[in-house]
Structures are given as C-alpha cells and as structure tokens.
Structure 1
C-alpha cells in the first residue's frame, strides 16, 4: 500500500514538474520587442502576446485576417453586436460600447497583456488609466489605408503569426500594385462619395479619404472644402462640382450608429437610397446622374483589409475598361472566406442599374 501511495505521489510530482517546465519553456520563447504603433509611439511588448482586448471592428478584422483572433479575449459592443460575424464574443462581457467609451474596470478585471485601440478612440485616456495597472496600450487603426503594411506586420509580430500576416499583406498589396500600374497617368474621374447619412461626405484627413485616393479618384471635396460642412453638404455645391461618379454608403437600419453588419441591407433599402439621390432637386443635371454612374457599398463591406476592399471596388467602378484583371467581387470573396473564415455573402454592392424597377 505504501509503495502504491509513493508511486502515485511520485507520478503527480513528475506531472507538476513537467507542467512547470513546459510553462517556463514557453516563457523563454518570449522576448521583449519594441513596436511602433499607428500614432508613432514606441511600445515594448512581451511577444508573442497571449491575451489582448481590442476595440473597433476594423481592428478585429485585421487581427483575424492575420490569424490571431484566438488571442483576443474581449472586444467593444460595436463589434460584438454582430452576433453572426462575431459570435465568439459575449455582448455582456465587452470592454465598452466603442473605442471612445471604454469600461476600465472591465479591462482591469480581464488583465490583458495589451489593449489595442485605434487613433480615433480614447487612447490617451486609456494610457493614463491603465498605466498604474501595468497594462500597455497599442494603437492600431484598421481604417488607415496608408498604414496598412505597418499595422499588418505589427499584428503578425505581436502575436507570432508572421507567416499568415505576410500572406494577407501580399494578397492586397498585389491588388494595389496592379491598380497603380494600370491607372498611372490616367485623367482622374471626379467622384462624390456620400456617407450613410444623406449629404455627408469626406475631406482630406478623414478615415475614408485614402481609400478613395488609392483608387485614383478625384474626390470633388479634396480641395476648396474649408467652407463646406461635411456633415451636411449643400446639394448645390455637389451640382456645381459635377461629379462623374457618385458612390453612396448604406447600412442596415438595425445596425448601431456608424457601424455595419455582416448581413447586408435589403435591396429595398438600396433602392430607397438610389431614389433619394436621383430625385434631388437639380441633380438630374449632374453627369453621374445623367449617365446613371451611381454605385452603392455597405458600411460593412468597404472597410475590409484597411479599406482596400473599398479601394478595389471604387477603382473598378471608376475605370472598368482599364482594370480588366481586377475582380472586386473575387477580392471580397477572398477577404470573407480566406481571411475572415466566413461564407461570402452577396448583397453588399450594387450599381444604380441593378436597382431599376
């Protein structure tokens, strides 16, 4: 009996020691790495990071595309609201409503190794509130098209998923290089892009601005916009600037303000948006309306891959004959299925011609 007890004790001791050695070995694989975030801060992190919390759907999509979503233990409500797309996250256990409204008690309770926030969030406040608890804040802005390469590589390094991150980057960089090559020296077509709210648009410095620039579009409000209210554009100003193409963003009525959902709006919602544009007083004189060069993207769809999905669609909408090898529908399919692990879903993109009764 004593021999049997001793054997059991010995076996348990070996198991505990083996487990401890395994943990120690894993810790030894980690190293302190300094990464430069989206606002130029140099942040030291123990990499690969095992646990993190992250706000902003665009950030979480980039992280998932880089193969690291399993390391995210909580997100914001704007992300978690989409139960089909983000079913692994509990809306009752979020780190706040959005990147601008954070629940610091919850973050401290979760004790992540890093908090990931975008530049348009309350990151300075978060740094101040979380520093006493030794929780670093790292800025990733998933909407920042111009910083796509740096952010994807940061995610790969941070979570130890460099190979997948590089594959992801290469896919979209290839599309961007093709667009640049094909459209080099081309006379740019004039574009008016309207947000989900009527008569809202974008100016230089806005999150969507580079998405449009990278598509070689001539945004009609890229100049002489100082006296224009982007939150309520004078419709006469759009008439005067006479865009060749109009692109309107649409989001489902049930989506939280400023967000999109995996399930697209109904076709009737797109038709309502189309009819709103073509029946505006005087807009029948705009070139885009005359030629029915009007297109629609959802708030969900255009933001994929640092808004490069949107760039591909906009470029094709503007210059279809010059981009014969660019298939934005295939880009969106690859984004959804290859990099997000979800079934491709139709109904996020329409042309005005698709919406005629």
Structure 2
C-alpha cells in the first residue's frame, strides 16, 4: 500500500514538473524571454479580451494585475464581462503606462511571473523596462495594433504559451489566416480596380474631423481588404486629415467607427447596447458634413459603420470582412460580418454581446 502511494506521488510530481517549466521564446520584438509556463501570476498590460479568448476564461484565475482603463473605456463591454465574472473587479489596476497613474513599485508589489505589454507600452516605458526585469520579472511584448498577419499570429501564439493553451491559439491563428487568405484569393481572382477608402474614428462628431489611420489599425485593414487607403500618403500611424484632403481624394467608400459613447453629441456610436436605429442615425448625420455631399461614397450610398473596439485584436477578422464587402459588394456578397463577429464570441468567449458592431447602407 505504501509503495503504491509512493509511486502515485512520484507520478503526480512528474506531471507537475512537466506541466510547469521554464521556456524561452522570442516575442514580437525578437527579444529572447525566459519564463515559467503556464504562468501563475500574470499582469495583462493590454488586449484583455484577447487574453481571455486565447487563454480561456480560466486564464484570468492567474491574472494578478490589469491595465483596466482600456477595457473600461468600453464601459458596456466591461460591464458585460463583470456581470458574468464579478472577480474582474477585484483584480488590481496598474494604471495607464506612460501616465502618472502607472507605478512600477505597484507592479513589483504584485509579484508577477510575467508582465505582458503591447509594443507601444514597452516603448513608452523605455529604460524602466530594465528596472522591472532586474527585479526578476520577465517582460513579454505582443502587438495586435500593427494589424499584420505576422504580428497577430505571433501574439496569439505567445499568449497561448503563457496560458498553456497552445493548441487553442494555433486553432485561432489557423482560422484567422484562412479568413484573410479567402479574402485575398478572391481579390486576386477578380483583379478589380482598388476602390479609394477612408476610415475615421468619428467620436468627435460631424463638425470635427476624427482620427484616421495610415499603416496600422483601420489603415492596415483597409489595405488587407484590397483598398486604396487615402490617408496613407499623409498619416504614418494615426492622425487627422484636413477636410480638404478628404474632399480632394474623393473616396469611393467611407467607414465611420465608434465606441458605445462619443465625445460629441452627434459622434459615431457602435457596440454593446447600441441599437441599429441609434447607430444609423449617427452615421447618416455624416452625410451632412461640409463638402461631403459631392463625394462619390455619399452619392453612391457607400457609407458604413464599424465598432472601434473590434480593431487591434484577434477578433478583427470580421472587420476585414466588412471592409472587403464595403469595397467589393459583388465579390463578397455572401459574407455577413456581423454574424462573423458574434460567432467568434460564441466559440471563444464566455459572454454574448448584444448591440450593433457593423452597419451596412440601407
């Protein structure tokens, strides 16, 4: 009997040793980082939904710190998750990196095994990264903001490794690649002229130009979906065009993006809890923007809406579909971006969003 118990203990120890071990990876900046995986004490600096989608809800059992501001900037989305998992409220907030609300001392006091950062957060910390690492905390960098297949895939795989969900991460990457390849293959087969597209974060409202995007985020999605992004010659990452530049470019397609609330009373709203009627009312208002009535996109009724929270994330495959369908309606007539967005939640997340996430012209 004692021999049997001893053998059982040895087997359990072997399982634990094989389950948790030091591994070395290259993060998205090609930095060599060694940590114990699956990690037991993680601080998630950015991409909180991605971390749950890839690592499963159980991954949040091991999250000891969270940069909550980016999640709480979408209050309806945050509340949806908290209603499902109230313990999210109890995770300490580490504040916005690059602001006075962020404290390295607080980060170290949480005794993390890993500090997971977005590329831009890593760059914002600068030399302070060495201070964190010298305290024995590995810093791992991921990046969904770049909006490239390579970085989306690498970031997903890294989170899969951190959470012990490598197979799940590989499946998500495979599906993401397949979606993108489907779109690119159809574009190559049809070989149509590239439509000019303009995407704007429209929270400020009709009378103030909002942010548009060059190489990353909606700008990169515009290119992935086969468009000629009119902002690219003027904006490297994100910024605002002069109204005259938009008018002179005369885009064939315009896509206005928004969150659940807007800074302007007529700003674009999309997302959790937003009715289609409310979103459409805001979208229609942009047709009256000064000088826009003569734009091809407005005259041909090719003004679309998209949820800004569905960008810079592994969830954004549906938004690539939206841009593709907006620019090539015949080629992608069979796609339903709204359903595709909700299907990702059904497969990989524990909550079910209700609202308006894509908006097509009537």
TM superposition score normalised by structure 2? 0.80
Deviation at 1:200, TM superposition (A): 2.7
Alignment of 1:20-99 (within 5 A): 22=12, 25-56=15-46, 59-68=47-56, 69-70=59-60, 71-79=62-70, 81=72, 82-86=78-82, 87-91=85-89, 93-99=91-97
Deviation at 1:34, TM superposition (A): 1.9
C-alpha distance in 2 between matches for 1:229 and 1:168 = 26
C-alpha distance in 2 between matches for 1:204 and 1:271 = 26
| Equivalent of 2:173 in 160, 169, 174 | 169
C-alpha spacing 1:245/1:254, structure 2 compared with 1 (3 Å): closer
Which residue in 2 is equivalent to 1:287?
Answer: 296
- How many residue pairs match? The answer is 332
Deviation at 1:55, TM superposition (A): 1.8
Structure 1 residue ranges without an equivalent (≥5): 1-9
Deviation at 1:214, TM superposition (A): 0.9
Deviation at 1:190, TM superposition (A): 0.7
| Equivalent of 2:138 in 130, 136, 139 | 136
Which residue in 2 is equivalent to 1:315?
Answer: 324
C-alpha spacing 1:131/1:20, structure 2 compared with 1 (3 Å): farther
C-alpha distance in 2 between matches for 1:171 and 1:271 = 31
C-alpha distance in 1 between matches for 2:145 and 2:315 = 5
Deviation at 1:125, TM superposition (A): 4.9
C-alpha distance in 1 between matches for 2:107 and 2:336 = 42
Which residue in 2 is equivalent to 1:5?
Answer: none
Equivalent residue of 2:23, what SS?
Answer: strand
C-alpha distance in 2 between matches for 1:129 and 1:89 = 30
Alignment of 1:1-357 (within 5 A): 22=12, 25-56=15-46, 59-68=47-56, 69-70=59-60, 71-79=62-70, 81=72, 82-86=78-82, 87-91=85-89, 93-101=91-99, 102-121=102-121, 122-146=124-148, 147-184=151-188, 185-196=191-202, 197=204, 198-223=208-233, 225=234, 231-253=239-261, 263-267=272-276, 269-271=278-280, 273-305=282-314, 307-353=316-362
C-alpha spacing 1:254/1:216, structure 2 compared with 1 (3 Å): closer
Residues 86-95 or 297-306, more deviating: 86-95
Residues 101-110 or 139-148, more deviating: 101-110
Deviation at 1:248, TM superposition (A): 0.4
Residues 169-178 or 100-109, more deviating: 100-109
C-alpha distance in 1 between matches for 2:35 and 2:161 = 10
Equivalent residue of 2:43, what SS?
Answer: strand
Equivalent residue of 2:79, what SS?
Answer: coil
C-alpha distance in 2 between matches for 1:261 and 1:351 = 12
Find the structure with the greater CA-based Rg. Answer: 1
Across the aligned residues of Structure 1 and Structure 2, the Cα RMSD in angstroms comes to 3.1
| Partner deviation per Cα, 1:63-122 (whole Å, 9 max, x = no partner) | 222234333233112245312225455446434233444332332222111010101113
Residues 119-128 or 168-177, more deviating: 119-128
Equivalent residue of 1:233, what SS?
Answer: coil
Deviation at 1:203, TM superposition (A): 4.0
C-alpha distance in 2 between matches for 1:345 and 1:298 = 12
C-alpha spacing 1:346/1:229, structure 2 compared with 1 (3 Å): closer
Deviation at 1:235, TM superposition (A): 1.3
CA contact (8 A) 2:199 2:218 kept: no
CA contact (8 A) 2:274 2:355 kept: no
C-alpha distance in 2 between matches for 1:20 and 1:194 = 60
Deviation at 1:288, TM superposition (A): 0.4
C-alpha distance in 2 between matches for 1:88 and 1:23 = 34
Which residue in 2 is equivalent to 1:3?
Answer: none
